Every structure is written in structure tokens, then in C-alpha cells.
Amino acid sequence: MSTPQLPSGPRITPVQTFRFIRDVTRFFVDCRERYGDPFTAPLPVGNVVITGNPEGIRDIFSADPATFEPLGQLPLAPAVGDNSLLLMGGQRHKRERKLLMPPFHGERMRAYGQLMQELTLRAVETLRPGGPFRAQELTQSISLEVIIRAVFGIEEPERVRRYREVLAGYMEAYTPLLMMAVPLRRSFGGMGPWARFQRYVTELDQLLTEDLTTRRGHEAGHTDILSLLLTARDEDGQPMTDAELKDELRTLLIAGHETTAIGMAWALYHLHRIPETKQRLLEELAPLGPVPDPEALAKLPYLTAVCDESLRLHPIVAVVGRRTVAPFTLRGRELPPGTALMAAIALAHVDPATYPEPERFRPERFLERKYSPFEYLPFGGGARRCIGAAFAQYEMRIVLGTLLAVHRFSLASDTPERPVRRNVTIGPGGGVGMVYEGPRQGALA
């Protein structure tokens, strides 16, 4: 019996690797136009079969989870740890996901709404009327404190500051080069980028160990995520180990603030670049008063559409990967065990067959029709969909709604923002330069 052939695609060259790292969406669109969908791309993790077609994505997300194992351990493992949910497969992934899900949904999630708004209002107090700032720095400051307070229940300013410093250094040190080039993950006598990153790994591990030790045995009466995880038990009555807890907490801290912050920064950019879009949102916000109730903000349809469109046009993560452990059929094509697969979020979100004028920021499209989870998938899908998706979307609506209802901003420049890969995530290259114009009339009066 002959081995099934992989779909055609470009050859492995340094140029193709650079194009993938530099502008993944353009690279995928060019490959689809030349080779069709699916196609095989030579990526840093090897040859990968890629689809952005809703039918292909449905094939992947609807398959038995036992058909796959995680893909991407090499780029992700140093950042999130070997015990991260992102790198698990099989029954262990199912067990861990069940333990982690409850704090990010329903009433437990909505309990953080007031905190999100308070931290947003406090962050803007640091801005000077007429002064410049970068939107991504503002939104990252807000989302980082939200996740620190939500995960750990920490209120001491010095402890929050310490987490801020370590996480900022941690993310800056884990560069795209370290993520993609495994041979560079070596310490040269305590010098070099890998040694620098490892120092931040040690500092973060020390912070997590201290908080685990302090909180263990004192979970009662606390509603933060760490306390809930310390009391969580699986079907066999077993708790998570310290190693599992620390890697999951590290994953939540890293994935839980930068991704949300980038989505909000892009939304602020487009709202202030398109006056009629911002005006429609302001008209929706106006009846809610000068400082809207967080729950009311979370239910606004146009605000929700603005957040959805931001994540469509600028997905924070371009792909979600799997590796087959059994024969698998993708769009009628049989693929052998061991095949690396990617559902290309970035490609699906700019498919003109699904989204007319795909490169245009137009929130109205989400009010005009519903998109299937195989057409719109900013948080992945299937059994491995991001557990924090509802939390992130909730936070985006409350923070953006509060910022626009209470304060006035403008763009600092007409220069277009371009997406740039930072590490695992892709964000605005210039951070979205803005000017704070002051509070809206009547707000905070």
C-alpha cells in the first residue's frame, strides 16, 4: 500500500521561513492562491499541512480528539512549561481542562466585571490631558493587573508591581528567534538571550512558589482562580500537583493578558481611524450614563461586534496546530499518522467567500449574520478551544466600553499600524500611538 502524499506547497528555503515569521497572513494567502487549500508549508516545526477553508477546519475540530496530539511543543514549551494545558493530549488534557474551566465562565467570571472597570479607570488616571501614550501599553497594563488580581487575588501594590516587572521581562526575553531557533536555547557561560530568559523563568517560578505556599490551606473565603484551583479535584479525588499548578498559572498569566491587550489596542486604532464607526459606538454607549454598569456594557451588540471584528482582522494567534496519531481525512484527502496539521485562523478570517472586503474593518458584518465556529475562530476550536475565551471577550467589552464612554482619545499619527510578530502573538508594530484628550463632559463628575 502506498503512503498518502501530502498536498503541494512551496519548497523549504530561508526566504519562505522569513516570510512566515514576517507576515504570516500574506504568506498563507499567497500559498492558497498558488497551491489551493489545503497546502503544505515548510515551517520551523517541519512540513505542515495547512487549511483555512471552513470545511477543512470543520474536519479538524469535529474529529475525535484521540486522532491528534498537540503540535508546537518546541516553540511553546519554554514559555508555558511542560505541564501546560496547551501542550497536553489525551486523557490528561481532558482532566486538566475540566479542572481549569469553571473560573472562566458564568457567575464566577462576571464577578470580575467591577474589578475590570475599576482598574481601567485607575489606569487612565496616569495619563495627562494632551499627552501621548501607546494604546497597547495602556491595555496591557489593565489586562495584566486584571489577570494578576483575578488569578491570585493579590491587592498589595508592591506584589502586583513585582509580577508586572517579571512578566514584562519574561515576555520581552522570549524573542521570536528563541521561539523558532532551538539551537539558540543554550547558555553561553551565563550570557546570551537564553540565559537571560532563564533568569526570568527562575524569578517567575519563585513568585509562583511563594504564592502557592502562602495560599495553601487558606483557600476558604477566597474567590480568586488560584484558590479555586487549589480546591479542585478530578474524578478520582486527586488535586493538581504543584508542578501542574505552576505551569498552568504561568500559562494563564502569559496568555491571559497579552492576547486581550493586543485585541483592545487594535480596536482602539480602528475606532479612531474610522469616525463613523466610533460615532455609532458612542451613540450606543450614551444611554448607559457617564460611567456605564459593567454588565450593561457586556450586553451591547455593537460594542460586541467591534471586539469581534478586531479579533477577526487581527487574530492574536495565527494558527492552531495538531499532529495526527491515526489516519485522518482532510477535505477528502487521506493523511497518514504523524502528519502535522494547522487550522489557519489568519487565513480563514480573510477569506473573501466568507467575509466580503476582508481587509476592511467593518463591525456591522457581525450584526448582519452569524458565523460558524469554523469561519470565525479567534480562540481556536474543538476540544482544545481556549478556556479563557469567554473571559477575554467579556474583559474586552468592559474595558473598551469604559474607555470610550468615560474618556476621549485621538490617534497621534496618520501612519498606518502594521502587524508584527512579538513571540507567539502578533500585535501592532508601533503599539498604536494615541493622545489623551481628557474626560468626556459629565463623566466622573
Query: What single-letter DSSP state applies at residue 191?
Result: B
Could you tell me which residues are annotated as the binding site?
386
Cα distance between residue 212 and residue 214, in whole Å: 6
Q: For residue 40, what are the β-bridge partners?
A: 49
Q: Which three cell numbers stand for residue 395?
A: 474583559
Q: Are 184 and 177 in contact (CB under 8 A)?
A: yes
Report the 10 Å Cβ neighbour count for 315.
29
| Cα 92 from Cα 83, distance rounded (Å) | 10
Pairing of strands 39-43, 407-411: unpaired
Residue 427, number of CB atoms within 10 A of its CB: 24
Q: State the residue for C-alpha cell 497621534.
A: 412
* Torsion (CA) 425, 199, 387, 100 in degrees, nearest 10: 180
**DSSP label at residue 67:** G
Identify which of 203, 6, 195, 235 has the alpha carbon closest to the alpha carbon of residue 99. 235
Q: Per the annotation, where are the binding residues for heme?
A: 386
Give the Cβ contact number of residue 84 at 10 Å.
24
